[in-house]
């Protein structure tokens, strides 16, 4: 009996250790006000020591991306480890695993995932998160937080537009993100770029997902199954609880969608 209890206790501790997760700090792009940066640093525990890792692969100018991202940490006397290549020595990968904060810069989320996917660095980032580290990202670095990642492209209209002109079936293109959020779709620069049509298309076609639009200079802090709004603007959440969907030609519609507008300090459940 005693032996059986010890076995149960061992596996309980084992699974608890491996199910531990850190925090997410997901920024909608644009400027990062001091209070937003300070909250990110505090939540990561960087005000008590440790270091941040910057991953600039979304940018076409990674050196510049590192320079501007680094400023917000260096001026607060926080050590920064920039990652300049996905091909890393084991010692650098170990630094990623043990980081207090991993920060994805903005740019192109498709470029970022193409560089990271199925690499030892990808696994090291996940290990950091499982060990309780904080994963942060802005703009493209926000989009990759979802498993189902908005690429920014429209299937029906190849010419890029920063906002969708329509709400149509099979138009929104998705790729595979980092997957820290299993059942949430993240959109960024949301209010400033009027991206409502894009996220409305998503919530109609994928009603099981929570669709979250984060405005610029604003973030959500995700921990313990809840998201808190941080920064200066708002976060819009679309839900389709009745899985409603109608279609006429390529136009799609839905009834009784739930729309919530959250201001700074408010929280909501996240998937």
For residues 24-29, average pLDDT: 98
268 neighbors 227 (Cβ within 8 angstroms):
yes
Tell me the pLDDT tens digit for each residue of 141-181: 999 999 999 999 999 998 888 889 999 999 999 999 999 99
Residue 269 backbone zone (phi > 0: left; psi -120 to 50: alpha; other: beta): beta
Segment (H or E) for 187:
strand 184-188
- Give pLDDT tens digits for 226-242: 999 999 999 999 999 99
Domain spans of the chain, in order of start? 22-269
CA distance 135 to 26: 8
pLDDT band at 4 (very low <50, low <70, confident <90, very high): low
Mean pLDDT over 8-13 rounds to 44
Give mean pLDDT, residues 35-60: 96
- Rounded average pLDDT over 16-29: 78
Residues 106-120, mean pLDDT to the nearest whole number: 95
Q: How far apart are the first and last CA of the chain?
A: 39
pTM attached to this predicted model: 0.91
22-269 belongs to CATH 3.40.50.880: yes
96 and 83 in contact (C-beta within 8 Å)? yes
* pLDDT value, residue 232: 97
- Those residues whose C-beta lies under 8 Å from the C-beta of residue 178, and which sit 6 or more positions away, are 113, 116, 122, 125, 126, 135, 144, 145, 146, 147
């Amino acid at each position: 009996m005693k032996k059986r209890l010890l076995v149960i206790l061992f596996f309980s501790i084992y699974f608890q250790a491996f199910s531990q997760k850190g925090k997410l700090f997901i920024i909608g792009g644009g400027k990062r006000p001091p209070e937003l940066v300070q909250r990110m640093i505090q939540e990561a525990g960087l005000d008590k020591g440790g270091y941040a890792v910057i991953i600039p692969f979304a940018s076409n100018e990674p050196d510049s991306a590192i320079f501007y991202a680094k400023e917000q940490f260096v001026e607060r006397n926080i050590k920064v480890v920039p990652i300049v290549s996905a091909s890393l020595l084991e010692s650098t990968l170990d630094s990623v695993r043990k980081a207090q904060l991993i920060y994805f810069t903005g740019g192109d989320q498709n470029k970022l995932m193409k560089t990271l996917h199925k690499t030892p660095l990808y696994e090291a980032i996940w290990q950091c998160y499982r060990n309780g580290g904080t994963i942060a990202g802005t703009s493209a670095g926000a989009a990759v937080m979802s498993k189902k990642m908005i690429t920014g492209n429209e299937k029906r209209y190849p010419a890029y537009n920063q906002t969708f002109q329509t709400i149509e079936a099979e138009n929104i293109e998705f790729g595979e993100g980092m997957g820290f959020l299993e059942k949430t779709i993240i959109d960024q620069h949301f209010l400033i770029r009027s991206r409502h049509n894009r996220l409305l298309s998503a919530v109609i076609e994928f009603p099981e997902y929570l669709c979250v639009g984060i405005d610029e200079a604003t973030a959500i802090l995700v921990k313990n199954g809840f998201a808190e709004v941080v920064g200066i603007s708002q976060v819009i959440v679309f839900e389709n609880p009745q899985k409603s969907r109608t279609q006429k030609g390529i136009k799609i519609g839905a009834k009784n969608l739930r729309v919530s507008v959250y201001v700074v300090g408010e929280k909501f459940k996240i998937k």
